[in-house]
Amino acid sequence: MPLLFESGTHRFTRPRVLVACDEQTQQQRLMARNGLTAQQASARISSQMPLEAKRSLADVLIDNNRDLDATRRQVNDMQLMPENAQCSHRD
């Protein structure tokens, strides 16, 4: 769900998984994928909930700064974690 935290739907899900990268990487990917200018991409990112706010609501963070294989490994590792290790049960 793209707007999990913004919509408040996160209150009904566990674990809350955030896949995130730094803003520079996010901007570069957005420009490449959507054909946006740097200014357009920056405006789109600025319109979203700040990453730090999302991090405070997440139970699990997947670091998406590297390549797809690295992200997949993190997802696979998360799936192997015991349920109680995945969730900090923050509300």
**pLDDT, tens only, 39-58:** 999 999 999 999 999 999 99
Q: What angle do CA 60, 14, 9 make, to 5 degrees?
A: 105
Cβ pair 16, 59 in contact under 8 A: yes
Strand (E) positions, the chain? 17-20, 60-63
Q: Looking at the domain covering 9-86, what would its CATH class be?
A: alpha beta
Residue-wise pLDDT tens digits, 53-77: 999 999 999 999 999 999 999 999 9
- Look at the pTM and tell me if it is higher than 0.85: no
Q: How far apart are CA 79 and CA 6, in angstroms?
A: 25
Contact 19, 62 (CB under 8 A): yes
Residues β-bridged to residue 63 = 20
The domain spans of the chain are 9-86
